[in-house]
Amino acid sequence: MADSNPQLHPDTVAVAAGRPDRLGAPVNHGITLASSFASGAGPEYARGDSTDTWIALEEAVGALEGGRALAFSSGMAAISAVLDQLPAGANVVAPADVYQGVAKILSDGEQRYGWQVLRLPTADTQQWLDALPGADLVWLESPSNPTLEIADVPKICAAANRAGVPVAVDNTFATPLNQRPLESGAMFSVQSATKFIGGHSDLLSGIVTVSTTLPHSADAHAGVDSRRTFGGATPGALESYLALRGLRTLPLRLERSQSNAMTLARRLEQHRQVTRVRYPGLPSHPGHELANEILGGPGAMLSFELKGSATGADVRVSRLKLITPATSLGGVETLIERRNKLTGQEHVPPTLLRLSVGVEHVEDLWNDLEQSLSGLSDNT
């Protein structure tokens, strides 16, 4: 089986892991539509015992991330199951610029459970190291959404391990192909599989992969598993099937999307309407060297800021013909969003546009961006 063979490349693992392994079995696990199983030979009830369809997805993602995966009904369900482990009064260190769903859980935790949340700039490694003594959990998100900052995940994890502090990494933007936090010493790697793993904007799914090597990792896995059983945020059968089907082509999609993103980032940086491009693949990005060192690739997400007003940015977005203005990311189709207009994203520069770069022909994407950006006065 692929997941027991450490020699295979990740691209192969994405294709081969989580397949049925008995002779005569279909090559794909089916969509098991059952809440109950005939008693006496193992699984009894799906909420606690899982179904073949989720287990296949978990095997494949677990093999890529390098740990034991648990699938959930969404990325937020997966994130909640990790954060639910925190006791009242817990000390949490988290990015100041974090996905807004996580920001909401953390601020609710401050109000309801007396959590002490220290919010730090993603890229200021020293501040993270200084914050470790007394922390109960370090939450990282890298590259960050939507400012594409890079955290030094290996360095922070190494120091956190020495201090006995568990680290959770939201690995959604990087995917397990570009970053494997568990290998660096994180306890949890979290994916919104809604995004790159699913890859087609047609499902909601989330996955927590738990270390198998750290002290207390078995307890950490049991805790997250228990939250799924008793919180009930179990994955859907169809969604799990589709997420696994999407994962099979992640290496190909990511390769194309990354190459498109690099070309667009370079051209946007030269465009007279653009004041700043944030993309870890550009030498102008403050985390460029670190990204080269610790990531497998710069990813398919980029953000850029425009001259003029927020209204002008909205007008330009409305002139796009191919690229769809929509939230979310990681699909085959290119999506654009002015993030500052979302609740909880008021700190984001008003004209910042986040681009989730898809697999279309890059010249078609560029032509669409160019025609929407040009042809209006610079100060619109």
Residue 99 contacts ligand PLP per CB under 6 A: yes
**CB-count burial class (<10 Å; 0-12, 13-18, 19+) for 145:** buried
Query: Minimum distance from CB of 215 to ligand PLP (Å)?
Result: 27
Bridge partners of residue 208, in order along the sequence: 70, 190
Residue 149 contacts ligand PLP per CB under 6 A: no
- Considering only 69, 76, 105, 250, the residue that binds ligand PLP (CB under 6 A) is 76
Closest CB to ligand PLP among 193 and 282?
Answer: 193
Residue 140 contacts ligand PLP per CB under 6 A: no
CB 334 within 8 A of CB 372: no
- Considering only 20, 101, 223, 231, the residue that binds ligand PLP (CB under 6 A) is 101
Neighbours of 366 (CB within 10 A): 15
**Which residues from 249-308 bind ligand PLP, rule CB under 6 A?**
none
Query: Minimum distance from CB of 139 to ligand PLP (Å)?
Result: 11
CB 234 within 8 A of CB 72: yes
Query: Minimum distance from CB of 249 to ligand PLP (Å)?
Result: 19
Total of chain residues touching ligand PLP, rule CB under 6 A:
15
In terms of phi and psi (left: phi > 0; alpha: psi -120 to 50; beta: otherwise), the region of 38 is: beta
CA distances in angstroms from 176 to 180, 243, 334, 363, 368, listed in the order given: 5, 14, 21, 28, 31
Instruction: Report which residue's Cβ sits closest to ligand PLP.
Output: 75
Stretch that binds ligand PLP, among 72-80, 84-92, 119-127, 269-277 (CB under 6 A): 72-80
CB 89 within 8 A of CB 113: yes
- Considering only 172, 175, 258, 273, the residue that binds ligand PLP (CB under 6 A) is 172
Coil, strand, or helix at residue 106?
helix
Phi, psi (deg, nearest 5) at residue 324: -95, 130
Alpha-carbon torsion, ordered 137, 174, 172, 98, to 10 deg: 50
d(CA 308, CA 39): 66
- Considering only 18, 206, 308, 349, the residue that binds ligand PLP (CB under 6 A) is 206
- Considering only 189, 192, 201, 303, the residue that binds ligand PLP (CB under 6 A) is 192
Stretch that binds ligand PLP, among 40-48, 170-178, 272-280, 352-360 (CB under 6 A): 170-178
- Considering only 125, 145, 201, 234, the residue that binds ligand PLP (CB under 6 A) is 145
Residue 188 contacts ligand PLP per CB under 6 A: no
Q: What is the end-to-end Cα distance of the chain in Å, rounded?
A: 58
Closest CB to ligand PLP among 54 and 308?
Answer: 54
Residues engaged in binding ligand PLP (CB under 6 A): 74-76, 99, 101, 141, 145, 170, 172-173, 192, 194, 204, 206, 328
